[in-house]
Structure formats: C-alpha cells, structure tokens
Structure 1
Amino acid sequence: MVMVTWTDIQRKRLTELNATGAQRQMSFATVKDRNASFKKLESILISVAKLRLEQLRTEKKRPTLSLMEAKLITALNDNGFVQVTTPIILAKSLLAKMTIDEGHELFSQVFWLDDKKCLRPMLAPNLYYISKDLMRLWEKPVRIFEIGSCFRKESQGNNHLNEFTMLNLVEWGLPEETRHHRLAELANIVMQAAGIANYQLEQTSSVVYGDTLDVMHNDIELASGAMGPHFLDGKWGIASTWVGLGFGLERLAMVKEGGQNVRSMGKSLSYLDGVRLNI
C-alpha cells in the first residue's frame, strides 16, 4: 500500500509551528485521513504556541535568547572573562587578514556595504584587533568575549540565519599543554550556563582555522573551537598560545527549548520567543 504524506505546504506549516521530527514524518492511508490529522495537529500546536506566548507575557518577560545571553555573560564573568563590544561594520582589510578574500568560499556570503566595508560575518577580526593591545596592557592570561550580531548570506535551512547572534570567547597566554583540556572546560562552562547537558565534542576542520573542535548536539553544530599559535596570528602581530570558541546563540536557544527551526529563536517580525505569530 502506498502511504500518503504531508503536502509541502502542510509540512512547512508544521515546521513553523515547531512540530517534532516524528510529527513532520507522519504518513496516512488516505488523503482524507491526512487532511483530518493535519487540522487536528495544527490545532494542538497552535494551542501550545498560545500558551507559550502567554507565559512570555506573564512570567518570563524576556525571550529565551535574551535570558540565555544574560546567563552566559554572568557565567563568563564569574570565570574571569571580560566582555567587550566592537563595531558591526567591518573593514574589508580586516576580513582579508582572516584570509577571506575574493577567492575564499565565505566571501560570497558577505553583506557588502561598499567596496571597503561590510557587515561583519564573524566576531574574530575585531577580537584579534583589540587583543594585540590588551596583551600589551594586561597580564596574561587575557580572557575576553563578545556577544553580538553577525551577518551572512546563508542557505535558508532550518539551522541557518542571515542575521545571527554569536558568542566568541578567547583566552590568550595559557600553557600550551593545557589547550585541549581548556577548550573542553570552556565549552562545558557555556553549555552549563545555556542549560544544555547533552552535547558531544568532535574533531573537524574549518575553512578559516583548519583543525577545530566542534560542540555538537546530535547533528547540530552549536560551536566551533580552535587553538593557537596559528598561522593567522602573525597577520595581527600576535605571538601567543590561545584557545577560542564561537557559539551560535539561536542554535543554543533552539536546542534548549526543543525547537525545530532556528529562525523561530532569532530576531524576527514573524516569530516571538519561538512562536510563529500568524496563529
């Protein structure tokens, strides 16, 4: 017997309403059964969404993304990290120091404002820039982090956004033999603050940093970690051991809330705190 599955429109609607993977993969004996089941499931998901909006209004008062950012700041401050803020508009020359030029695969994802400036696709160039001075002014280890918006022309899958919130942290001047342990330790600090216990660390590679250590939840990459000395360091006049991690906060929030669509957790006019507003 050939089973009937959701139409594309039905599946898209269920994804918007944060239906689980199992719910989005349901099959039916007839079209009539499918359509009846869709109406019932849509109604249930809308009720759940309205309850969540009411909890935001009466209890939480702040979206999960904002609450998570506050918890991460506190956790990192408590572990000796200093928060910094840097410009969203990035000079092309700073991006080139990250080896991202016309021949780099990330170059086409950049939102260019003119031939010399863009919206930053990552936080690392600015952190590199100020770290050179901070390592001159402060005793090592120098521990800093930034949380802020980044912009890329990403694919429109469930795990990508054109505007997303990054947490980048870096620790300069630690003993070289402690780097792997320190990366795992810092990942644990962030994941505990985010309220996510189920994660794995995986060795992989990056188009910018080479060999990296990724923080994974099932098949979702939550963060990528790297360490130095690294060949990029010399472009910024830096010679030091270091470890760093970059987290996507919307992905952290999606996993924390059991969501299915990262767009629902980001800055949006269509969603609020994971809830589609056209309900």
Structure 2
Amino acid sequence: MEYFTVTQKERIIELNGTADQLNKGFPTSVERDQAFQQLERDMVQQSRENIRELLQKRLVTKSADVGSRLAGWLKGEGFTRVETPTIISKQMLAQMSISEDHKLSEQVFWLDSKKCLRPMLAPNLYVVMRELKRITNGPVKIFELGSCFRKESQGAQHMNEFTMLNCVELALVKDGEQLDELKRLAHAAMATLGVAQENYELAVEESTVYGSTIDIEINGLEVASGSYGPHFLDGQWGVFDTWVGIGFGIERLTMALEQSKTIKRYGKSIAFIDGQPLNI
C-alpha cells in the first residue's frame, strides 16, 4: 500500500485537506501520484472559489468579522471603544508584575531598554479606565480591539502578532457579584457569535499575571480569558473599585469557529487570506 509523500501531505494540509484525505492508501505509487494531482486541482479550485466569494460577496475576512461582531455587541451593551498605543514602557510591564525575571518577559519584543511592543492590552486599559473614573466619578465601560506582540513558540496555536479584544467594566457591579457578571459577559459573547452553550465551556485556570482566571474554551482551545477585581495588581494602578474584564483572542476564536488546524490562516498574513493559501 502506498501513501502520500511528505511533500504531498504538506501541500494537502496547506490546501485545507482532511485527515481522511491525508491517510488514504493506494495500490501503487503511480495511482497515488495521479490521485494527488487530481486532489490538488480540486482543492486549488475550491480555494479560488472561496477567495472569489470573499472579494465579491462577503468583503470582510472571518477574523475581521468576529472582531466586528464582538465590537457591535459591546457597543450595544454600552461600552465605549478606545484606542491606545502599541508601544508601552518597561515600567508599565513592571506594574503588571512582569519584571525582567518573569516568564513572560522573555516573550516581549523590546524596542530599547525602556520601551517594548505591548504583549497585552491591559496596561493601557488600566490607565484609561482609572482616568475616566476620576473624570466622571461614575462607572466606566470600555473596550479595545488591537494588535499585541509576543515571541511565541510559533506553533499551530500561536503567532508573534495577534489581535486581542479586551473589555472592562469598572465600578459597575457590587463586590461579590463580579464572577456572575463575568460569566454573563462570556455567555453573551458566545451567543453573539452563534456558539451554542454546549459547544464551549468556562474553565478556571491559573495565570502568571492575573492569578485565577475564567477561560472560555472551545474543544479544549482557550479563546478568551476573564478576570475581576479588586485584584492584587490594582493598587499599582490607582484602581480601588470592583471591575470585571475579559480578553478575546480574535484569531484563536476564528480558528476554533472554523475548526482549523492552525491559527496562521486567520492572522495578519501575506501567505493566507481568510483561511485560504495565496500560492494557488
């Protein structure tokens, strides 16, 4: 029995092939190669049709659509969208407990000895929500959708540049009600994306920055992480009210919704667009 070669398998995977297609056996190598050529032609044609549909009908990638739908839901909930710098200071990381000997520090893209590309949205949002609370003396509901950067492992679930959507409510819920509000937001977000409750779960995890978190997992893949305060980090930011926040990994979420094997298909790329390879 003959099976697809390593090179053939790589091409099939690139073209969104299934496990059944990858593992199919053939009586001879000639039949295998003929089958591969036909399969590649069919898959290339399908990818081209999918790209035409994007360009002529949908006009927005699936990742961008996920971000837009979540942003629309949050605005409907009364959240204000903010935009903050992608370059942050070393001091801001230290205030997140990320010192030079912290595990996450090795993943930071340093621009010089004092500045880096943000590995998360939280430091800037801490500042903005604190100042808005000071100005208004009332509850604050804000969110940001933007790029973050980490020197990740470059595996199937990680990228160096990725998109986060973080939302946070400050001074809105009573102490003791934060977990219920966090769960409500998580369920509402998934409902917005059309994910049935039986198709995801909320899991308690431990974070090197936030301590205990509530994660949203789809088929075991973490697509969002939520936390709440008062929290041990809050004092360093001058925040003393209750808060609830959730961060969504947009590409990971899209990857899970599309049941894809790799996140790179749905990230910022010049090799893929909307899950389809460009070398077709």
Is the TM value for this pair above 0.5?
Answer: yes
Show the counterpart of 1:211: 212
Show the counterpart of 2:8: 10
Instruction: Tell me which amino acid in the other structure corresponds to 1:270.
Output: A
Taking the aligned partners of 1:183 and 1:34, their CA distance within structure 2 comes to 53
Instruction: Tell me which amino acid in the other structure corresponds to 2:269.
Output: S
After superposition, what is the alpha-carbon deviation per residue over 1:40-60, rounded to whole angstroms, capped at 9, x for unaligned? 433332222111101011101
Taking the aligned partners of 2:221 and 2:68, their CA distance within structure 1 comes to 23
Instruction: Tell me which amino acid in the other structure corresponds to 2:215.
Output: D
The equivalent position to 2:25 in structure 1, one of 19, 25, 28, is: 28
After superposition, what is the alpha-carbon deviation per residue over 1:213-242, rounded to whole angstroms, capped at 9, x for unaligned? 110001211011111111100111111211
Show the counterpart of 1:60: 58
Taking the aligned partners of 1:242 and 1:7, their CA distance within structure 2 comes to 54
Instruction: Tell me which amino acid in the other structure corresponds to 1:269.
Output: I
Show the counterpart of 2:175: 176
After superposition, what is the alpha-carbon deviation per residue over 1:242-278, rounded to whole angstroms, capped at 9, x for unaligned? 1111111011222233322210111111111111000
Q: Would the alpha carbon gap of residues 138 and 160 (structure 1) be closer, same or farther in structure 2, given more than 3 Å must change?
A: same
After superposition, what is the alpha-carbon deviation per residue over 1:28-49, rounded to whole angstroms, capped at 9, x for unaligned? 3667265454434333322221
Instruction: Tell me which amino acid in the other structure corresponds to 1:126.
Output: N
Show the counterpart of 1:105: 103
Show the counterpart of 1:77: 75
Q: Would the alpha carbon gap of residues 36 and 210 (structure 1) be closer, same or farther in structure 2, given more than 3 Å must change?
A: farther
Aligned length: 276
Show the counterpart of 1:199: 200
Conserved in 2, the CA contact under 8 Å of 1:14 and 1:42? Answer: yes
Show the counterpart of 1:133: 131
Q: Would the alpha carbon gap of residues 20 and 247 (structure 1) be closer, same or farther in structure 2, given more than 3 Å must change?
A: farther
SS in structure 2 at match of 1:155: coil
Show the counterpart of 1:258: 259
Unaligned runs of 5+ in 1: none
Conserved in 2, the CA contact under 8 Å of 1:19 and 1:260? Answer: no
Taking the aligned partners of 1:170 and 1:159, their CA distance within structure 2 comes to 25
Taking the aligned partners of 1:60 and 1:146, their CA distance within structure 2 comes to 24
SS in structure 1 at match of 2:176: helix
Conserved in 2, the CA contact under 8 Å of 1:4 and 1:34? Answer: yes
Range moving further from structure 2, 256-265 or 216-225: 256-265
Taking the aligned partners of 2:13 and 2:19, their CA distance within structure 1 comes to 9
Displacement of 1:88 in angstroms is 0.5
After superposition, what is the alpha-carbon deviation per residue over 1:72-110, rounded to whole angstroms, capped at 9, x for unaligned? 211100011111100001111101111111111111111
1:121 aligns with 2:119: yes
Q: Would the alpha carbon gap of residues 156 and 31 (structure 1) be closer, same or farther in structure 2, given more than 3 Å must change?
A: farther
Instruction: Tell me which amino acid in the other structure corresponds to 1:164.
Output: F
Show the counterpart of 2:84: 86
SS in structure 2 at match of 1:112: coil
Show the counterpart of 1:96: 94
Conserved in 2, the CA contact under 8 Å of 1:215 and 1:221? Answer: yes
Displacement of 1:4 in angstroms is 6.2
Conserved in 2, the CA contact under 8 Å of 1:202 and 1:213? Answer: yes
Show the counterpart of 2:150: 152
Range moving further from structure 2, 117-126 or 7-16: 7-16
Q: Would the alpha carbon gap of residues 139 and 8 (structure 1) be closer, same or farther in structure 2, given more than 3 Å must change?
A: farther
Unaligned runs of 5+ in 2: none
Name the Cα RMSD after superposition. Answer: 1.9
Taking the aligned partners of 2:266 and 2:75, their CA distance within structure 1 comes to 25
After superposition, what is the alpha-carbon deviation per residue over 1:15-34, rounded to whole angstroms, capped at 9, x for unaligned? 3222235544x253667265
Taking the aligned partners of 1:179 and 1:21, their CA distance within structure 2 comes to 43
After superposition, what is the alpha-carbon deviation per residue over 1:185-211, rounded to whole angstroms, capped at 9, x for unaligned? 111222222333321111111111111
Taking the aligned partners of 1:21 and 1:118, their CA distance within structure 2 comes to 41
SS in structure 1 at match of 2:157: coil
Alignment of 1:236-255 (within 5 A): 236-255=237-256
Percent identity of paired positions between Structure 1 and Structure 2: 45
Q: Would the alpha carbon gap of residues 135 and 16 (structure 1) be closer, same or farther in structure 2, given more than 3 Å must change?
A: same
